Every structure is written in structure tokens, then in C-alpha cells.
Structure 1
Amino acid sequence: MTSGNGTQVQGRTRIQARNRDAILTAGLDVFSQHGFRGSTLDQIAAGAGLSKPNLLYYFPSKEAIYTALLEGLLETWLDPLRDLDPKGDPLTELLSYMRRKLAMSRDYPRESRLFAGEILRGAPEMHDVLKGELKTLVDERAAVISGWAKDGKIAAVDPHHLIFSIWALTQHYADFDVQVRAVLGGTDPFPGAEAHLEQMLESLLRP
């Protein structure tokens, strides 16, 4: 009786979407804690509240879950760099980029650790993307930064290493969160980190 109005089909679709999201969320938890090699489908299935055969209905392997997570993560990770406006005020744009990257470390620590883990294992799933899409975008934004420096709008800096430094300085707070909070006695590190990084970058970049 429900097949004529599509309710049953829509219901299955909602359940499928919910289960897929649950698997990806559980996969993110497991991979970010244990790394790719240390993670198992059983752990992910348990975290998703599904049986292993049910999980395999949605994803055929651990690798498939891992790849799906990385593909979604890369888009999120590149958005702040894409948003760097070549026509904007250089210092404002670069400080805004730093703040967005720091906010991502605060709001998406598991994703940051997942990405770091992939890089540490030699980026087997992302190597082509790193050499292609990521390199192209970084080169484009480095050219913008270099142009700002040549025009005297910011101090002369190596644009690629400036971008690398922003990555390192912000993602540290996600990837080494336990260490940071231990040293700070459990204090929230992000307000102080933002103020410190603003001061550092302003000192570096002001012409």
C-alpha cells in the first residue's frame, strides 16, 4: 500500500543516508584515533551501531570508507585558501586565512588528525591530488602573495613557506591537542593561540 506514494522508498533512502553518515562518523573516530593500519571494520561497525555485513552493504572495504572521508575532507581543507581574495587587503586576507585554519583545528580536530595520518603514511590515497589540485591552488595563491610583496603591500616573504607555516602553526593545535592542553593545564588554547599568531604574522608581514 505504501509503494504507490513512494513513502516506503523514501523511508529506505532516509535510513540509507543515516546509516552511511553513521559509518563515516564512526570511521572518522576510529581512523583519527588508531590510524589507517590500526583500524578495523569491526571497530567502525561497532561505532556506527551496525553489523559488519550491514556496513559492507554501504562500503565494500575499510579503504572505501577511508577514501570517502579523505575526499570530503580535502574540499573542506582547501576552502579557506580558495577564499583568499587577490583584490582584498593583503594583511587582512592573510590574517583571515590564519583564523579560519585555526578555527578548523578547533572545530574539526579528528579531520585534521586523519589528514596528518594520511600524509605520514606517504599519502597513498591522496598523492595524485596533492601533486595536482592542491599544488595548483597553492601555486596560484603563492603568486598572489608574491605580487603583494612586489607591490610593497606586505614584507618580502617566501609565499610557499608562508602558507606552510600557517598550516603548521594552526594544525598543531589539533594534531597535538593532548600535549598543548597538558602544558596549559587544561586551559582552552585557542583564544591565546589566535592572539599570538595574529601578532606573529603582523610583525612578519607589515612592510
Structure 2
Amino acid sequence: MSRIRQKNQDRIIEVACRLFAEQGYAATKMVDIARAADIPKPNVFYYFSAKDNLYRAVLESVTQPLLEASQPIEQLDDPAEALTEYIKAKLRISRDHPFASKVFANEVMSGANYLPEDIAAELLKQSQMIIGKFSQWSQQGVMAALPPHHLMFTIWAATQTYADFSWQICNVMDKDKLDENDFEEAAAFLTQFVINGCQLQHKSV
């Protein structure tokens, strides 16, 4: 793929993320995206052919990082280390993909009517893996016997809120935008909160 083509596609997805987040799927038109991206409408259709395809690209721009974020839980045996890295990764997504995160949240809250089945299946598979690993750690005695699904939901809510409710958070903190220090502080707090709440014990080598 040429650099110009990739640049144009990235620009279209970036603008579409914002418009879908602000207006919703139904109210957002391809012509609006083309105008906001300063790219001719035929070019937008050339790259994505239909609004459904562009919407999928927007969802993939956040669901792919979300799927990759759970790798520490899947690959690491130390729950404290795994959860620390997982929380950091989830907060990076809120920081780097705020509009796409809102699009995904809106899609889920509206019943996931436009979420492609293959993406939904991958997300479910990931959730089942996380719940299984939490249960395993509890059975091994390195984590308190907590309901694993509720622990997962709590981490989701605590990390994704920094994107999905950014206006409220910035309003409370009297800021136009959260900076790197804010996300680092959030990661440190949430990690300590989860580790202490789960009564984690480092696994012996």
C-alpha cells in the first residue's frame, strides 16, 4: 500500500471516529466524513466502498488494541505483574483512541447491532480467557476467591471511563485534556487498588 493511500485511509478513519462518536452511526453520513477529512467523497467510497466498511474500520481501530491488551494475562504467570501490564495497556487505549473507544462504548450500549459477528466472537473468546485465568489464580491461592467476571468488569469500567467519560473527568479536574501524568497517576492508583483488593501474592519461582 502506498504511503499516500495509507495516509488518506488513516485520516478518514480518524475523522470518522470523531463523527461517529459525536453523532452516532445512523446520523453520520459519508459526505460529512469526506468534508471533515478534506478528502473528495468519491475517494472515501473508493477506500471503503460503504459506510458499513468504514464503521468496521473504526471499530477495528480500537477492538484490535483491546484484544492485544490482554496478552499479559494470557502469557504471564504472576498475577500482580499481569494485571499491572493489563491496566497500563487498557489506559493507553483510552489515551490513544478516545473517540474510537466512545464509538465502541456507544455500540455496546445500543445493543451491538452493527458490531461484526467475528469481532464479537473474538471479544467473547478474550473475556472467557481472562475469566479462566482469574479463576486459575484463585484456585492456586495467589489471588483471593473473587467473582472473576466482576473483577474483569471492574477493570474495564475503571480504565475505559477515562475515554468514554472524558468530558466529565476533565470537568471535575478543571482541565481541557488529560496529560501523560494523569494517565500515569491513574495507572498507579488502579494497579494498587486492584492488587490490594485481590490480595495478590507473587508466585514463587
What TM bracket, shorter-length normalisation?
0.7 to 0.9
Matched position secondary structure for 1:25: helix
Identify the residue that residue 37 of structure 1 maps to in structure 2.
26
Number of residue-to-residue matches in the alignment: 196
Does the alignment pair 1:104 with 2:93? yes
Q: CA deviation at 1:136?
A: 1.7
Partner residue, 2:106: 117
- Any idea what the Cα deviations from partners look like across 1:47-96, whole Å, max 9, x if unmatched? 22122223222222222210122134321111011332454211121122
> How has the CA–CA distance of structure 1 residues 131 and 21 changed in structure 2, closer, same or farther, with 3 Å as cutoff?
closer
Q: Which has the higher contact order (CA 8 A, sep 6+)?
A: 2
Match of 1:193 among 183, 186, 190: 186
Contact 1:82 1:137 in 2 (8 A): no
- Structure 1 distance, partners of 2:81, 2:10, is 36
Q: Alignment identity in percent?
A: 34
> How far apart are 1:131 and its partner, in Å?
5.0
- Offset at 1:119? 0.9
CA drift at 1:138: 1.5
1:135 paired to 2:124:
yes
Deviates more, 1:178-187 or 1:143-152: 178-187
Distance 2:56 2:49 in 1: 12
Q: CA deviation at 1:117?
A: 1.5
Flag the 1:130–1:53 CA change in 2: closer, same or farther, 3 A. Answer: closer
- Residues 115-157 of structure 1 show CA distances to partners (whole Å, capped at 9, x for unaligned) of 1121122112226246522212221221111111111101111
The reply on whether 1:57 has 2:46 as its aligned counterpart is: yes
Give structure 1 stretches of 5+ with no counterpart. Answer: 1-9
State which of 44, 68, 75 in structure 1 corresponds to 2:64.
Answer: 75
- Secondary structure of 1:36's counterpart equals coil
Q: Determine which of 62, 71, 81 is the counterpart of 1:92.
A: 81
**In structure 1, distance between residues paired with 2:189 and 2:11:** 37
Task: Determine which structure has more spread, i.e. the larger CA radius of gyration.
Answer: 1
Shift in alpha-carbon separation, 1:190–1:87, aligned structure 2, 3 A: closer
**Normalising by the residue count of structure 2, what TM-score does the alignment of the two structures yield?**
0.85
> Helix, strand or coil: the match of 2:143?
coil
Matches within 5 A, 1:174-189: 174-186=163-175, 188=178, 189=182
Q: What SS class does the counterpart of residue 26 from structure 2 fall into?
A: helix
**Conserved in 1, the CA contact under 8 Å of 2:74 and 2:129?**
no
The Cα RMSD (Å) is 2.1
Instruction: Give the counterpart letter for 1:203 in structure 2.
Output: N
